[in-house]
Amino acid sequence: KNQIHVKGVNYSIIKVIGKGGSSKVYQVLHEGSKKIFAVKYVDLECADDVIIQSYKNEITVLQRLQNKDPIIKLYDYEISQSHIYLVMECGSIDLASFLRRKRVQKEDILFYWRQMLTAVQCIHDEGIIHRDLKPANFLFVEGSLKLIDFGIANSIQSDRTSVTRESQVGTLNYMSPETIQSSGDSHGGDHTSMKINCKSDVWSLGCILYYITYGKTPFQSITNTMMKLQAICNPDYKIQFSDVHDSNLVDVLKRCLVRDVKERPSIKELLDHPYVSSKT
């Protein structure tokens, strides 16, 4: 069957964009308007109440953020006992796939950085902290980067047929030291403030900017998971910052990748940083 019905509206499947454990994202055509959409399908058959609630929370937040430009548009959705369908705007490519394909021109780095900061600032303003930001969470829609999820429900990986799937899902390369350490005390120990918790997303954004700038993430070369986690948390493990054309960019990277949360800049401070504010 190559048709999807959501709230009685017919969509013809064009292709599968990505699939995760129990979810798929399709590129579809709305016959009536001849418009292209993305439909995210979640199979709830083997989902427990916690998973179902996490998807409902993600939808609630997505609805609440609809008036913000850097957030993916949700046009319609359907929740039943067995499935969830989300009809959303369709992007051209996610940032992870884009970065795998080509190196970013140095003059474009600032453009992407500003858009990522603005998108994450949107969710922080709504009291949402992602905690698992990576390139696959950002999507190009008509040339601008938008955030497609908020780290509430579990994520999806792109449908890459190649066996060597260096999947972005579950990658630790963008995880902040405090997230790694706090996930230890499972008795919900994040008594720290929202202000402090927002900094975890700043660390992840710094890792994404590092990847865009240098073509690899700060700890990518450490393949052993245990060793990687230790290096992320070990202040004696010095992250390398080779010089690039713009010393302001290196300064931004160094500030985002400070292990001490209190020393790490906020999104607001990063938007005021000379790298962002000194250019047009």
Name the residues that contact ligand FZR, by CB under 6 A: 17-18, 25, 38, 40, 72, 88-94, 97, 136, 139, 148, 156-158
Which residue's CB is nearer to ligand FZR, number 25 or number 252?
25
Q: Which residue is closest to ligand FZR by CB?
A: 18
Which residue's CB is nearer to ligand FZR, number 158 or number 179?
158
> CA dihedral defined by 243, 245, 251, 252, rounded to 10 degrees?
-120
DSSP string of 96-141?
Answer: HHHHHH-PPPHHHHHHHHHHHHHHHHHHHHTT---S---GGGEEEE
Under 8 Å between Cβ of 233 and 181: yes
Which residue's CB is nearer to ligand FZR, number 17 or number 202?
17
Instruction: For residues 115 and 104, give the distance between their C-alpha atoms in angstroms, rounded to a whole number.
Output: 15
CA triple 209-215-218, angle to 5 deg: 65
Residue 33 makes CB contacts below 8 A (sequence gap 6+) with none
Which residue's CB is nearer to ligand FZR, number 66 or number 192?
66
Question: In the complex, what is the shortest distance from the CB of residue 139 to ligand FZR, in angstroms, rounded to a whole number?
Answer: 5
Question: In the complex, what is the shortest distance from the CB of residue 137 to ligand FZR, in angstroms, rounded to a whole number?
Answer: 8
- CB-CB neighbours of 236 under 10 Å: 5
Question: In the complex, what is the shortest distance from the CB of residue 279 to ligand FZR, in angstroms, rounded to a whole number?
Answer: 29
- 260 as an active site residue: the answer is no
Question: In the complex, what is the shortest distance from the CB of residue 79 to ligand FZR, in angstroms, rounded to a whole number?
Answer: 16
Question: In the complex, what is the shortest distance from the CB of residue 267 to ligand FZR, in angstroms, rounded to a whole number?
Answer: 23
Question: In the complex, what is the shortest distance from the CB of residue 238 to ligand FZR, in angstroms, rounded to a whole number?
Answer: 33
Catalytic entry in 94, 132, 149, 201: 132
> Which three-class secondary structure state does DSSP give residue 1?
coil
- Please state the separation of Cα 12 from the chain's center in Å: 27
Which residue's CB is nearer to ligand FZR, number 19 or number 259?
19
Which residue's CB is nearer to ligand FZR, number 40 or number 273?
40
> CA dihedral defined by 104, 98, 67, 36, rounded to 10 degrees?
140
CA triple 280-89-120, angle to 5 deg: 45
- Strands 35-43 and 83-88, sheet pairing: antiparallel
Active site residues: 132
